[in-house]
């Protein structure tokens, strides 16, 4: 049986007020970690911290926008100043956008890249500086199935998530010499508000939401538990469900066959 590596650890989670991030905060606290919840929504983050505190665990909040490097640098600095170190950095915050490439514009592209890719880069950069000095730590970046395989209506989302996968796996090849680990999380369909609250351009929201209801989705608590299991085993890529694994395997084995499958499904919409 693996040792509980989270006991008495210091863990920072961006996007910790909802979805997978919220569940990660609770699971980390249950495993004995002191949790720093970083989120742009201070009220929602405070609610999560209060829930954790009621269970007798430690959680604090820091309000920050991950797309602002100064705010993320300050968040990491505040966490280290308060607790003396940083053991786990979960760069989890992200947004979604459903749109064909034809309907995209530079401002929307910029916002998606600023949050989903640059936000992870900033969190990784500042946490890595601390962890290299400590000669210990683990950076966990949340990508998506969309970081492993392409797909329609999500070009900006997929672009950022592919970047997160490349960033993390490249870091993993060089970070071990400093005693630092790096993992990327690639969830499939998880029951979170991200797509329900996302902008949809040139696409029928009602039909999209009806399609989502027919999709078998993982509970975020189960997703968080699988993420922590993957971190415990120091997996480079953490894939959590059979569908994601199958699609990723198909794409690697036969990109052409994968493309035909996706095209057929897209036409059927």
- Which residues are identified as catalytic? 157
The candidate with the shortest Cα–Cα distance to 116, out of 33, 44, 31, 184, is 184
């Amino acid at each position: 049986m693996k040792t509980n590596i989270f006991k008495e650890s210091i863990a920072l989670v961006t996007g910790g007020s909802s979805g997978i991030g919220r569940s990660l905060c609770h699971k980390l606290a249950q495993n004995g970690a002191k949790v720093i919840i970083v989120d742009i929504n201070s009220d929602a983050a405070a609610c999560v911290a209060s829930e954790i505190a009621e269970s007798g665990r430690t959680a604090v909040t820091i309000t920050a926008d991950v797309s602002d490097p100064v705010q993320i640098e300050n968040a990491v600095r505040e966490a280290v100043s308060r607790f003396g170190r940083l053991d786990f950095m979960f760069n989890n915050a992200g947004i979604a956008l459903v749109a064909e490439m034809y309907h995209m514009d530079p401002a929307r592209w910029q916002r998606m890249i600023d949050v989903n890719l640059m936000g992870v880069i900033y969190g990784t950069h500042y946490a890595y500086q601390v962890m290299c000095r400590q000669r210990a730590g683990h950076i966990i970046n949340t990508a998506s199935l969309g970081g492993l395989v392409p797909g329609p209506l999500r070009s900006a989302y997929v672009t950022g998530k592919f970047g997160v996968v490349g960033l993390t796996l490249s870091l993993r090849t060089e970070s071990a010499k400093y005693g630092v680990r790096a993992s990327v999380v690639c969830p499939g369909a998880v029951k979170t508000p991200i797509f329900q609250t996302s902008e949809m351009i040139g696409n029928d929201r009602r039909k999209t939401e009806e399609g989502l209801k027919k999709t078998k989705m993982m509970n975020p608590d189960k997703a968080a538990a699988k993420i922590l299991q993957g971190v415990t085993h120091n997996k480079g890529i953490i894939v959590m469900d059979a569908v994601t694994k199958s699609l990723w395997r198909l794409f690697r084995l036969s990109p052409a066959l994968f493309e035909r499958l996706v095209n057929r499904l897209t036409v059927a919409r």
